[in-house]
Amino acid sequence: MTQIRNLLLGTALTTLAATAAFAQTAAPAGSPNTSPAPAAAGVDMPRETPDVAGLRTTAPPPQNLTAPGPTDPLAQKRDSNARANADYRQQKKAAKSAYKGQVKDAKTLRKADRRAANDQMKAQMHGAPAQSQGGDQQP
């Protein structure tokens, strides 16, 4: 019997604490938000815009989707390491593509040089006297 009473009492206290925490964060349903805290925190207040029928309605404030930076030193270190790794990968990728471009250009130049040398050799062979199979001629 004591265990059931302690269990019910614990459940009731937990429910009460959760309700109190929710009540602190939520505005009352029937009353408008009269707290000056959002204006003091730098949040823009709703702007009034003229309506078609002459009634004024309030436009929702613009939302800032950027979260503030973490204050935990380990989280800051993690974020800075992630940024450094991203920068390194980007630089490595750029260097790799530049290297590949240089290799491609070098291959193209080498092919052109070989082709030019081959053409020059063929031109010399057609215009020069025939040599014997043994290599250089001896006098």
Question: What six digits make up the tokens of 62?
Answer: 């613009």
pLDDT of residue 137: 55
Mean pLDDT by 10 residues, the chain (139 residues): 83 79 63 52 54 64 71 92 96 97 97 96 80 54
Q: What is the DSSP letter of 26?
A: S
Q: How far apart are CA 105 and CA 82, in angstroms?
A: 35
Q: How far apart are CA 87 and CA 95, in angstroms?
A: 12
The domain locations on the chain are 72-127
Q: How many residues does the chain have?
A: 139
Overall pTM surpassing 0.75 (yes/no): no
